Structure 1
Amino acid sequence: MTDPQPTDGDLPASDSEAASTQEWWDDPSLPWKHKPTKADILCFSWLTAAAIYGVVISILRPGMLASAPMVLASQGSWSGVVMTGALAQGGNPWWPLVWALATLGFVKFDWIYWWAGRLWGRDLIEVWSGRSARARRWNDRAEKFARKYETLAIIVNFLPIPLPRAVILAVLGEAGTSLKKLLTVSILSSLVTTGGYLWIGWYFGEPARFVMETYGNYLWYVSLAILVVVIVSTWRQQARKTA
């Protein structure tokens, strides 16, 4: 007597078949572990817009620093603010307006990262860390610091030190920091530090202007490198998806 042959329904699904049934939102590069809600989609769209803005402004920064430093400063650029301070020493009267706009420019995306942290918590930081052990260690330290020193973490975010600003804001969102407190402390901190950058430019005057112009010249090479990295990273991601 022969054993009954398994039917198609009894056969285990192949890896390719299993992959084909995977929903698009199960992609590990996405910060959620469920079918995204309208809030998830909207917040992710804002994050994408902020990332695109960051790349574009990084590419345009050298030219803007030379031709339109006050416009650049108004977007939230410390180099543009220093240049504006140097121009103020020479008699340019627009520095108070630039001070106000730059104060808001430095905090314009804070609410997005806070919201993302409130929605996705630790999963978002895992996505940002990726496979880089160094990024993971750095982000873990920033997370511990933000959880331990809530208000201080917001203030330190505005100092010219290499901190993963987005990670700190996301952690504060997940930890329950109110948006009102975040924006209040952020705007006050931005007002003070922006004033400090203006003072540096005004105090040093022409030497500060020369330094910023030289810095802008070197930024062209940095901008080109950023553009190449973005193109190569996008190409590699597409290649992995189609492989």
Structure 2
Amino acid sequence: MPSTDQPLDPPGAPESGPKKAPEWWEDPRMPWKGKPGRADILCWVGFSVSGIIGLIMIPLRPVLIGHSPLALVAITGSRSGLVTSGALASVGRADWWLIALMLGIVSSMKWDPLFWWAGRLWGRGMIDVVAGRSRWAARTADKAEWLGRRFGIPAVLLCYILPLPAAVVYATVGMAGMRLRTFILVDLLGSALICSFYVWLGFRLGQRAVTIVDVIAKYSGYISIALIAFIVINGILQANKQRNTATAKARALPEAESAD
């Protein structure tokens, strides 16, 4: 005969016992819905690698633009590096401006197919990641999404001219069904046009640009140290802000429960 010492839970009652900790991929800030597959992980790793490289390059930019602008262009597609290449060629201090142009065209668009792929994989989820940074980012992302859906190819080209969140536009055209080959060809055209313009601008500026580059080269070490200090201090401030926000929420929760 079954024991009646333990009361039975009424139907529909919440399950007792400790709740299972959510998996890392269940974080609402992630762009996917459900458990990510291999393609999701690869795409996310690509974003992480691009972010790490971008962070590393912040303090290295002044050093490279002053001492090796060709390397800067090859790694980042830097527009300032392209201007420098054209300016050095105009005063006879470099004859590799065409190499810089070719490298700049490829390097400036190297991560773009990743955003197209993210749009195919996650749809609106990718846009929500960009929009979730702030209210301004959300409004800008909505406008960029509309632009990408409405104009497609022209929108991709406009990302090289206007201060648009290119990640949103590229993800939107991927989500809307633009073929990868079409996207790469249009992106290549935009990159070629803008990189050619900056090399031409360097030729036009000539010695004036070279003088500025020489000053940057002279003080590049100090500039890099200042940038590193800024990154570290900003990271500490952001970590403290997040910790204070989490503490405030943790304190507010018991107060709200006791008020109920």
Q: Same fold (TM over 0.5)?
A: yes
Q: Could you tell me which residue of structure 2 aligns to residue 202 of structure 1?
A: 203
Distance 1:141 1:215 in 2: 37
The total of aligned residue pairs comes to 238
SS of 2:18's partner is helix
Closer/same/farther in 2, CA of residues 17 and 198 from structure 1, 3 Å limit = same
Instruction: Determine if contact 2:66/2:216 at 8 Å carries over to the other structure.
Output: no
Offset at 1:5? Answer: 2.5
For the 8 Å contact 1:85–1:95, the answer to whether it is kept is yes
CA shift at 1:115, angstroms?
A: 0.5
Amino acid at match of 1:155: L
Q: Among residues 131, 134, 137, which one is paired with 1:132 in the alignment?
A: 134
Query: Is the CA contact 2:73–2:81 (under 8 Å) kept in the aligned structure 1?
Result: yes
Q: CA–CA distance in 2 between the matches of 1:22 and 1:8?
A: 27
Q: Which residue of 2 aligns with 1:225?
A: 230
Unaligned 5+ segments in structure 1 are none
Report the CA distance shift for 1:8/1:80 in structure 2 as closer, same or farther (over 3 A). farther
Whole-angstrom distance in 1 between the partners of 2:55 and 2:141: 21
Map of 1:43 onto structure 2: 43
How far apart are 1:7 and its partner, in Å? Answer: 5.4
> What's the CA shift string for 1:38-84, capped at 9, x where partnerless?
11111111111111112112231122111111211223000110011
User: In the aligned structure 1, how far is the partner of 2:195 from the partner of 2:133?
Assistant: 35
CA-based RMSD of the aligned residues comes to 3.1
Matched, 1:27 2:27: yes
Which deviations, in whole Å up to 9, do the C-alpha atoms of 1:117-155 show, x marking residues without a partner?
110011111122225111100111111111111111111
1:68: which partner in 2?
A: 68
Compared with structure 1, are the counterparts of its residues 129 and 215 closer, same or farther at alpha carbon in structure 2 (3 Å cutoff)? farther
Q: 1:14-33 CA deviation, whole Å, 9 max, x = no partner?
A: 7x933x34333211111111
Match of 1:185, SS state, is: helix
Alignment partners' CA distance in 1, 2:14 and 2:8: 10
After TM superposition, the structure 1 stretch with the greater mean CA deviation from structure 2, 139-148 or 61-70, is: 61-70
Q: State the TM-score, normalizing by the size of structure 2.
A: 0.80
Matched to 1:204, the amino acid is L
Q: Give the secondary structure class of the aligned counterpart of 1:108.
A: coil
* 1:215 Cα deviation after fit: 7.2
CA distance in 1, matches of 2:63, 2:123: 37
Please give the secondary structure, in 1, of the residue aligned with 2:196. Answer: helix
Does the aligned pair in 1 maintain the 2:109–2:191 contact within 8 Å?
Answer: yes
Cα distance between partner residues in 1 of 2:127 and 2:216: 32
Counterpart Cα distance in 2 of 1:131 and 1:40: 21
Determine what percentage of the aligned residue pairs are the same residue. Answer: 35
- Partner residue of 1:118? 120
Q: TM-score, normalised by structure 1?
A: 0.85
Higher deviation after alignment, 166-175 or 52-61: 52-61
